[in-house]
Amino acid sequence: MAKILFLLILSIANQCVAAIGIGFSERRPDGNVFLYTSEKIRESTIIRLKFGINQDAKCCQILHGRDFQKTDSVDFVMGNKEVAGYELKKRGSEKRGERKIGVAIINSSSARNYKKDVKAFKDGKQYLITTCFGTEGVNLKLYGGRDLLDSLYYYLGYDVPATCNDR
C-alpha cells in the first residue's frame, strides 16, 4: 500500500514539473546578446530568444547552448534558484540601437507568439510564458495549464508603470 501511495505522489509531482525552462534575453545597444536563466545550459540545449516583450516582437531566434559562454551569476535577475548569465559568443547582424529585454525559452520543441505572451510546446504539452511590468522591473512566468511552474524577475533599477494582473 505504501509503495502504491509513493508512486501516486511521484506521478503527481512529475506532472507539475516543466519540461522546458525560461530566462530573460537582453540585446544591448552595442549589439552584445545575453541570456539570464536558472536553467543548466549544456552545448546541445535549444534556446529560443524573443527580443522585446510586446506582441509585435518576433518569436523566436533559435540558438544552442554552444553559442553562449557562461559569465558570472547575476543579482539583477532573481528567481527560486541562482541565476547565471551567458553571453552570445559571436555577434551577428542584429539591429543595434536601444536595449531590448525579452524572453528566452529553454528546450522547447517549438514556440510562437500568443497575444502579448508566448506559447511553447514540448513532448505534447503546452506551456504559457507571460511577461508584465512590476513597479521597477519585469516579471516572467511559466505556466503549465493553470499551474505556475517557474518565475523570474528582472530588476530594471528605475520606476515603470506596472502592468501586472494576478492570473
Q: Confidence band (pLDDT; 50, 70, 90) for 72?
A: confident
Place of cell 528566452: 104
Q: What was the pLDDT predicted at 34?
A: 95
C-beta of residue 165 within 8 angstroms of C-beta of residue 86: no
pLDDT at 123 over 60: yes
Per-residue DSSP letter, 95: P
Residue 80 pLDDT grade (very low, low, confident, very high; cuts 50, 70, 90): confident
Question: How deeply is 145 buried, as exposed, middle or buried, from its count of CB atoms within 10 A (0-12, 13-18, 19+)?
Answer: exposed
- Measure the CA angle with vertex 114, ends 97 and 63; round to 5°: 55
Q: Assess contact for 43 and 65: CB atoms under 8 A.
A: yes
Q: Is the dihedral of CA 94, 29, 73, 161 positive or negative?
A: negative
Model confidence over 1-48: pLDDT tens digits?
544 433 334 334 344 455 899 999 999 888 889 999 999 999 999 999
Q: Can you give the pTM of this predicted structure? A: 0.83
The predicted-structure confidence for 140-161, as pLDDT tens digits, reads as follows: 999 999 999 999 999 999 999 9
- Amino acid making up residue 141: K
pLDDT of residue 166: 63
User: Which spans in 50-167 are helix H?
Assistant: none
Instruction: Please name which of 161, 28, 52 lies closest in space to residue 103, comparing C-alpha atoms.
Output: 52
pLDDT at 146: 92
The C-alpha atoms of residue 122 and residue 110 are separated, in whole angstroms, by: 7
